[in-house]
Amino acid sequence: MKHFITTLDWSREELQAFLDHAKALKADPIQPLLKDKSVALVFFNPSLRTRTSFDVGARQLGGHAVVLQPGRGAWPMEFEVGAKMDADAEEHVIEAARVLSRYCDIIAVRAFPKFENWEQDRRDHVIKAFAEYATVPVINMETITHPCQEMAHMLTLQEHLGQVDGKKFVLTWTYHPKPLNTAVANSGLIIASKFGMDVTLLCPTEDYLLDERYMNAASEYCSQNGHELTVTHDIEEAYDGADVVYAKSWGALPYFGRWDAEREIRDQYQHFIVDSEKMAMTNNALFSHCLPVRRNVKVTGEVLDSEQSVAIDEAENRLHVQKALMAGLIGD
Amino acid sequence: MKHFITTLDWSREELQAFLDHAKALKADPIQPLLKDKSVALVFFNPSLRTRTSFDVGARQLGGHAVVLQPGRGAWPMEFEVGAKMDADAEEHVIEAARVLSRYCDIIAVRAFPKFENWEQDRRDHVIKAFAEYATVPVINMETITHPCQEMAHMLTLQEHLGQVDGKKFVLTWTYHPKPLNTAVANSGLIIASKFGMDVTLLCPTEDYLLDERYMNAASEYCSQNGHELTVTHDIEEAYDGADVVYAKSWGALPYFGRWDAEREIRDQYQHFIVDSEKMAMTNNALFSHCLPVRRNVKVTGEVLDSEQSVAIDEAENRLHVQKALMAGLIGD
Amino acid sequence: MKHFITTLDWSREELQAFLDHAKALKADPIQPLLKDKSVALVFFNPSLRTRTSFDVGARQLGGHAVVLQPGRGAWPMEFEVGAKMDADAEEHVIEAARVLSRYCDIIAVRAFPKFENWEQDRRDHVIKAFAEYATVPVINMETITHPCQEMAHMLTLQEHLGQVDGKKFVLTWTYHPKPLNTAVANSGLIIASKFGMDVTLLCPTEDYLLDERYMNAASEYCSQNGHELTVTHDIEEAYDGADVVYAKSWGALPYFGRWDAEREIRDQYQHFIVDSEKMAMTNNALFSHCLPVRRNVKVTGEVLDSEQSVAIDEAENRLHVQKALMAGLIGD
């Protein structure tokens, strides 16, 4: 039994096998691969795409999803081992994971960081606790990485570009009125570098570098594939000749928990919005974003509605890759 | 592909075909008409009947419903095209509708008015935006009309009265402590007049007339069927000889957004409650209400529990007509 | 048609038949016993196990569950017959029960006490109202008793002990920072005494005795089986020679609604926590708790994670007994 917590745990070949299965399921979506199986979807944060695509996907494979929202209809939960539970939490993840494992064949978990202390959040302790105590496979529906999104992104790139090796992939930070999770940014960096792309990270300042765990992993993957991870704060340098522009906003890690101070910096970089002028500098690049996206803040409506935009395809591909993942993890 | 946003868009014959199919499905409820299909139920407002009947109905047809509550478990949503999304909304309906269309075969939407500005609310912009950007059929689960309720109401009248043409239909305003949506009132007026009934609208004052869009449509349908739409503020005149009494409360449109002022008027008309004394003036009329209903405020328990009350039948018929609608829209 | 509101309404033989069916379903879980049937799960309070196990259970039997949360996504509800509904409630249980009976084949209800007035709460009026107006079987998912938990508990004891008659069963009160529902305590007392166990109730003071309805029933069941219901405030006396230790916290009934006063008493009995020292006094007793459980407040992690702990088995058995109950109630 193997969990799907982060793609760092999986080889490119293993991930490509899931992608190949996803392509097959996209062509022929109704298959009894999860017949009479149940999947618990545990949401500590909101969702539209993830919830719908897992639910519909389980059903198309003959299975069934149960949506649980701890603290909103289900009990608030404790994660620290050995805690004396005399505060708000009524249930420990030990019991929750063990019990859900008796009812369901897969447990999928969404647990965003708390945005107070990055050293704490980077431990990814919620999903790791589920993985430790569950006796069925656990799937990450976004914590501090978003591996299902990565897979959908890569499937989309392969559909549109064929071979992705050596293509210039630009992950661009964009402005957002709130300091967001780095999960999709971490994931974008990892998947592109692991699959042999020539990766550039564009962000306003050094404060917006991603966690070293993901920077180092991306750097290493790039090296293994004969590239070098490029980090730049120069918009023109980044967009020049890009084959893929992937946009995401995130809060600066050194300011974690001090968001008022961070906001003063962030507010200065609203011009990082993806617009037609920037896209014109690229090699007719594909544009994508994980959704939800704030129109005319992170990207103009013009770019988002253009033929180069594959954001809706990427969202659709969530369905197909997650079906492949569920079937693969259960079949193991 | 055609949406089911308002019955104004559909002919009596087309609607009757749905009703006939609903009658057949009521007799023989398990049919594979939505086999392996998924229906997104997007609720911006609460629901018991609508949520249950769509969910059970999809299942009885071999399909599957996914319940989404934007702002409560799913992302808050923007509807204005071209908006710079720097406020609360994280997701634009353009993306939501396009993405849900990739996952699901039908999108059903409940979006009540905001009750601040009728000129704004009467645009019905939420469901219209879904209809514009979705690439699958969209069904109205109540916005400023409630066409599924209309259909269930008409099915119930046909079951109890047979031919409804020429029967006296009274839509009576009733008191309610809050200023409610006009949707069911608009819908009651339209469906009764479209199906050839002799329609009377009973309301306290001219302030409680419905929007001219629906008043005019009802008036025209009445004319086409050789009747005249009657508007009265006289309780006895309205109930006299009625074959059907349909009760609903709504807020006065000229006072929209100024509800404290409206309340002073509304509070004077608590005697519009449907009771046995009023029902005795009718031609042994059927009574109905769309539910939920406040007992002993809008209607007495005595009337609601009487043999003339068909409110529970009407609620049941929501299931059957919605199954016919889902099957019909997907089959088109 | 018979409801499953409290095990007081059912004989030991009838309950054993459900348990036997549950054992068979545990061995062979996929059966078409609810094929094309729908179950409404009405939650007035949070749930993880109950919601998941009913949902998965219905599905494994070929059926389908609909989760409704009145006041959170569904309309707030009125329960008093004859009420003039001019406050918050938009819907009366009369309509809700009648309408859900038209859509679904079973209605299951969770409705905790309001914790203000025990004389009011002990009427159990929410589920009784559903039972009165529903035209399909109603199942109690926890009100002032928790009969599904009882059944799962008894199934677990039978699995581990074989014949339970004459075994020493200790229901021990434990500390919890909030005054909790007596439901599981009432249920533990009833099921153990009904099935012939030698029952001891351990609680801090006379204030923590359970409602006389359940004390008397347990006492009578004990007498019928040749035992005597023991009540003690002495920890050693209770644990000595026990075969089963079942832990639960609850608020003192004489202080109902005056929880600040009750807290002063409750806070003095934190040493009622189940720990290894106490368990060492038993006859190698099984330990269980209904979950959720606060670790290191009600029971130490050491006991909960020990081989004697059957809490996870009991949670799993919720699935199996509820499937037997649903199938049995519908088949009647």
Confidence at residue B46, expressed as pLDDT on a 0 to 100 scale: 85
**The pLDDT of residue A143 is above 60:** yes
| B191-230 residue pLDDT tens | 999 999 999 999 999 999 999 999 999 999 999 999 999 9
Give the nearest chain C residue to A36 (CA atoms).
C60
Q: What percent of chain A has pLDDT over 70?
A: 99
Confidence at residue A142, expressed as pLDDT on a 0 to 100 scale: 97
**The pLDDT of residue B332 is above 60:** no
Task: Find the length of chain B.
Answer: 332
Give domain status of residue C2, yes or no.
no
Q: How far is residue C208's CA from residue C248's CA, in Å, rounded to a whole number?
A: 12
Confidence at residue C46, expressed as pLDDT on a 0 to 100 scale: 85
- Asked if B285 and B243 sit in the same domain, the reply is yes
- Asked if B156 and B297 sit in the same domain, the reply is yes
**pLDDT 10s per residue in chain C (332 long)?**
999 999 999 999 999 999 999 999 999 999 999 999 999 999 998 888 999 999 999 999 999 999 998 877 677 889 988 999 998 899 999 999 999 999 999 999 999 998 889 999 999 999 999 999 999 999 999 999 999 999 999 999 999 999 999 999 999 999 999 999 999 999 999 999 999 999 999 999 999 999 999 999 999 999 999 999 999 999 999 999 999 999 999 999 999 999 999 999 999 999 999 999 999 999 999 999 999 999 999 999 999 999 999 999 999 999 999 999 999 999 85
Give domain status of residue C280, yes or no.
yes
Cis before B32? omega within 30: no
Please name the chains neighbouring B, where neighbouring means 3+ C-beta pairs under 8 angstroms. Answer: A, C
**What band does A153 get if pLDDT is binned at 50, 70 and 90?**
very high
Give domain status of residue A1, yes or no.
no
Q: Quick check: C319 and A75 CB within 8 A? A: no
- Asked if A132 and A215 sit in the same domain, the reply is no
- Per the structure, the complete domain to which residue C30 belongs is given by 7-145+317-331
- Asked if A274 and A134 sit in the same domain, the reply is no
Which candidate, B172, B184, B181, places its Cα nearest to that of B231? B172
- For residue A332, give both structure tokens: 């193991």
- Asked if B121 and B187 sit in the same domain, the reply is no
On chain A, the residues whose CB falls within 8 A of the CB of C46 are 73-75
Task: Find the length of chain C.
Answer: 332
For B5-126, list the strands marked E by DSSP. Answer: 38-43, 64-68, 77-78, 91-92, 106-110
| B149-184 residue pLDDT tens | 999 999 999 999 999 999 999 999 999 999 999 999
Confidence at residue A146, expressed as pLDDT on a 0 to 100 scale: 98
DSSP label at residue C22: H
Confidence at residue B212, expressed as pLDDT on a 0 to 100 scale: 98
Cβ pair C67, B45 in contact under 8 A: no
> The tokens 């993942």 sit on which residue?
A325
The number of folded domains in chain A is: 2
| CATH number, domain with residue A46 | 3.40.50.1370
Confidence at residue C77, expressed as pLDDT on a 0 to 100 scale: 87
A167 vs B115, which has greater pLDDT? A167
3-state secondary structure of A232: strand
Give domain status of residue C123, yes or no.
yes
**The pLDDT of residue A48 is above 90:** no
Q: Quick check: C72 and A74 CB within 8 A? A: no
DSSP label at residue B209: P
- For residue B105, give both structure tokens: 């075969």
- For residue C164, give both structure tokens: 């339970």
Q: How far is residue A17's CA from residue B251's CA, in Å, rounded to a whole number?
A: 59
Q: How far is residue B37's CA from residue B64's CA, in Å, rounded to a whole number?
A: 6
- Asked if A154 and A300 sit in the same domain, the reply is yes
- For residue B98, give both structure tokens: 């396009």
DSSP label at residue A221: H
Give domain status of residue A231, yes or no.
yes
- Asked if A68 and A174 sit in the same domain, the reply is no
- Asked if C231 and C205 sit in the same domain, the reply is yes
B147 is in an annotated binding site: yes
B159: number of Cβ within 10 Å: 15
Cβ pair C135, C69 in contact under 8 A: no
Amino acid at B41: L
**What band does A76 get if pLDDT is binned at 50, 70 and 90?**
confident
- Asked if C111 and C158 sit in the same domain, the reply is no
Confidence at residue B75, expressed as pLDDT on a 0 to 100 scale: 75
Comparing CB atoms, the residue among A47, A52, A291 nearest residue B103 is A52
- Asked if B137 and B202 sit in the same domain, the reply is no
- For residue C207, give both structure tokens: 């204030």
- Asked if B55 and B204 sit in the same domain, the reply is no
Confidence at residue B48, expressed as pLDDT on a 0 to 100 scale: 87
> Which of A35, A59, A92, A106 to probe the C interface (max C CBs under 10 A)?
A92
**The pLDDT of residue B141 is above 60:** yes
- Asked if B125 and B247 sit in the same domain, the reply is no
Confidence at residue C112, expressed as pLDDT on a 0 to 100 scale: 92
**The pLDDT of residue A237 is above 80:** yes
What mean pLDDT comes out for the span A180-201?
A: 98
**The pLDDT of residue A282 is above 90:** yes
Give domain status of residue B227, yes or no.
yes
Q: Quick check: C53 and A103 CB within 8 A? A: yes
Give domain status of residue A178, yes or no.
yes
Mean pLDDT score of chain B, rounded to an integer?
Answer: 96
Which candidate, C51, C56, C78, places its Cα nearest to that of C67? C51
* Cβ partners under 8 Å of residue B119, min gap 6: none
Give domain status of residue A2, yes or no.
no
**What band does A73 get if pLDDT is binned at 50, 70 and 90?**
low
